[in-house]
Structure 1
């Protein structure tokens, strides 16, 4: 079997030094739609967007943690960990969770330590949980968990893992916004370090079962968090404490995302994301933003 769960879990963590600059942060923000003001004011001068695009006002959207220090231990390198040998065309990103220990600085150097934290047997597929913990000289910065769905690699009788499904949100959402995905969004986003050809190469996308390249799930993840921060958190990225989602469907460049938000108590926002042009087909589900 290409996945040896025992070997993967026993493998030594991989550590690497990572660094990032304001330019990296700005490029990521552009990759998740910053500067494209939905109210059609000039994105070059809108002060709300300048917080993402102008170095003198720059703050860091917490989902930047998923790409910081491109080339650090992460999803692609995790697929080459001991005990893991899979065909990239069989791989889908199943979910992502992020815990922030403090706000991410606009520039920094840190150590990223990655390991396989869990391997689950879903019958027709396996799920790898790849955990990356990042700390700088001042202490922990963030912890990322990527849930990687590998088709055709289950069925060895292993632990199925916990259920992450949540009950559907009740009542009308507190806010609903729409965000248009640019036709070149995936090509721009991949410059932050996710080079999976699924998002750029039509022939590779066909091998993976898609008519054309799809948007990175983590791009949708960033677009969604930005919408929540801008809409319900007063534009204050420092209020985000944790953010998790399950990738429930694909997004194609050029589509429109409908982002529905429900306040749950004083510290949680529940979110659902659908594709407008495909009759509200689910895109992100079981999505929570925890905040101060």
Structure 2
């Protein structure tokens, strides 16, 4: 079996230094559509957008944590850890959760500790939980968990793991916004460190079972968090405490995302769908916890 669960879980964590600067933050924000909001007259000069793009007033959207240090550890590099040997064409990003311990600075150097936190048998697929804990000299900054589905690698009788499914939100959403995805969005987003050819190479995408390259799930993840911050949190990124989602479907560059939000005092439930494909779900079981 290409995945040895016991060996993967027992492997020593990998620790290394990561760093980022304002240019990395600005590139990430461009990659998730900053400066291109359709609901503002001139997004290029809108102060609400410039806080994501202009170094003199730059704030950091918490989902930047998924690419800080060029996406370290990154799905591709993590799949080379002990006990894991898989075909990249069988790999899909199944979900993502992020806990923010304090606001992310626009530039910094930190220590990232990476390990396999879970290996689960879903029958037709295996699921790996890749955990990254990041801290600087002042203490913890964030904890990232990536849930990675590897098709065709399940069925060994292992632990199925916890379910991420939530009951559907009740009633009409408090806010709905639409965000267009540029035709070149994946090509721009990948410059922040996710080089999986599934998002750029048409031939690789076909081998993986898709008609054409798909958008990074983490790009949709970032677009969605920015929409919630802008629509419900007054544009204040420091109010976000945690953010979790399940990737329910793919997004193709050039499509439009419909983002529905149900707000409570301390959290917001979110559902995201692809408008042009009859509101096909793309993010589900999504929760942003905030102040």
Q: Same fold (TM over 0.5)?
A: yes
For 2:141, the equivalent position in structure 1 comes to: 141
Cα distance in structure 1, aligned partners of 2:142 and 2:19? 14
1:33 aligns with 2:33: yes
> 1:38: how far off?
1.4
SS of residue in 1 equivalent to 2:160? coil
For 1:213, the equivalent position in structure 2 comes to: 213
Q: How big is the alpha-carbon RMSD for the aligned residues of Structure 1 and Structure 2? A: 0.7
For 2:99, the equivalent position in structure 1 comes to: 99
> 1:42: how far off?
1.8
Cα distance in structure 2, aligned partners of 1:162 and 1:40? 41
Q: Please tell me whether the aligned partners of residues 37 and 179 of structure 2 are also in contact (alpha carbons under 8 angstroms).
A: no
SS of residue in 1 equivalent to 2:164? coil
Q: Please tell me whether the aligned partners of residues 251 and 282 of structure 2 are also in contact (alpha carbons under 8 angstroms).
A: yes
Q: How does 1:273-284 map to 2 (within 5 A)?
A: 273-284=272-283
For structure 2, the residue ranges without an aligned partner over 5 or more in a row are: none
Cα distance in structure 1, aligned partners of 2:25 and 2:102? 17
Aligned length: 291
Provide TM-score, normalisation by structure 2.
0.99
Cα distance in structure 2, aligned partners of 1:39 and 1:257? 14
Cα distance in structure 2, aligned partners of 1:187 and 1:224? 19
Superimposed CA distance per residue, residues 129-148 of structure 1 (whole angstroms, 9 cap, x where no aligned partner): 00000000100000000000
Provide TM-score, normalisation by structure 1.
0.99
> 1:72: how far off?
2.6
Cα distance in structure 1, aligned partners of 2:89 and 2:96? 19
> 1:37: how far off?
2.3
Cα distance in structure 1, aligned partners of 2:27 and 2:231? 22
For 2:267, the equivalent position in structure 1 comes to: 268
Superimposed CA distance per residue, residues 1-43 of structure 1 (whole angstroms, 9 cap, x where no aligned partner): 0000000000000011000000000000000000002125222
Q: Please tell me whether the aligned partners of residues 2 and 83 of structure 1 are also in contact (alpha carbons under 8 angstroms).
A: yes
For 1:132, the equivalent position in structure 2 comes to: 132
Q: How does 1:6-45 map to 2 (within 5 A)?
A: 6-45=6-45
Cα distance in structure 1, aligned partners of 2:290 and 2:230? 13
For 1:289, the equivalent position in structure 2 comes to: 288
